Amino acid sequence: MAGYPLPIKRLISELGKLPGIGEKTATRLAMHVLRAPEGDARGLAESIMDVRDKIRFCQVCHNFAETELCNVCRDPARDTGLICVVEDPDALMAIEESGSYSGTYHVLHGVLSPLDGVGPEQLKLYELVERIREKAVREVILATNPNVSGESTALLIARMIGKLDVPVTRIAQGVPMGSDLRYMDRMTLSKSLQFRRDMEKEP
């Protein structure tokens, strides 16, 4: 970056702070911004500031929102008796895009990770418990990722909610459609056997 003027160096440095962006990629992005029409560059800058200034967490589920409630919690057609617990807003969006779920959500904003200093206090666990106590909840669906941290978090939530006499379920895990058993890892095969289904009860 030695030969660039200071404003370009600063832009490259700031872009390089983004996850997955190295110096070369940051330089290419900076050159793109520099050569882009002024309206595009200003639009990018304004959209970044809009995100910082206008986006907050939903007061109910802690999803991203522009107002006190997110789009899901504002939807009167949603089944408020179902709460799907996810790690982050990205997971919520993935479930929404599937088009197969009509309940509500609860976003934890992370999972248990003692080595990284993330314990129950850093997650939205106690807010979940209070929410269940206050609302008529029929089922809590745990949709944390199927890894060590996700499983540990799901087990803790199940124990916490178990005292409230509310059914707790876990999303199914196992062999994905179109895959070959010969290439499955041991954990995936183990989970697929653990969560096997009764064929006679298939719709």
pLDDT in tens, 120-157: 999 999 999 999 998 889 999 999 988 889 999 999 99
pTM of the model: 0.81
Going by their DSSP bridges, the two strands 103-107 and 79-86 should be labelled as parallel
User: What value does the mean pLDDT of the chain take?
Assistant: 89
Number of other residues whose CB lies within 10 A of the CB of residue 137: 20
The two structure tokens encoding residue 7: 């404003």
**Distance in angstroms (rounded) separating the CA atoms of residues 123 and 138:** 23
Residues 182-194, mean pLDDT to the nearest whole number: 77
In whole angstroms, what is the distance from residue 5 CA to residue 12 CA? Answer: 11
User: Residue 100 has which token pair?
Assistant: 């197969």
Place of tokens 């209070």: 130
The CATH architecture to which 6-52 belongs is Orthogonal Bundle (1.10)
Output the CATH code of domain 78-171. Answer: 3.40.1360.10
With a cut of 70, say whether residue 43 has pLDDT above it: yes
Q: Are 144 and 123 in contact (CB under 8 A)?
A: no
Give the tokens for residue 123.
């997650």
The structure tokens listed for 188 are 């995936």
pLDDT bracket for residue 187 (50, 70, 90):
confident
Residue 79 φ then ψ, to 5°: -85, 100
Provide the 10 A C-beta neighbour count for residue 10: 13
Please choose, from the candidates 179, 198, 199, the residue with its C-alpha nearest in 3D space to the C-alpha of residue 189.
179
Segments making up each domain of the chain, as ranges = 6-52, 78-171
Dihedral sign, Cα of residue 172, residue 176, residue 189, residue 110: negative
At 21, is the pLDDT very low, low, confident or very high (cuts 50, 70, 90)? very high
- The whole-number average pLDDT for the span 107-129 is 92
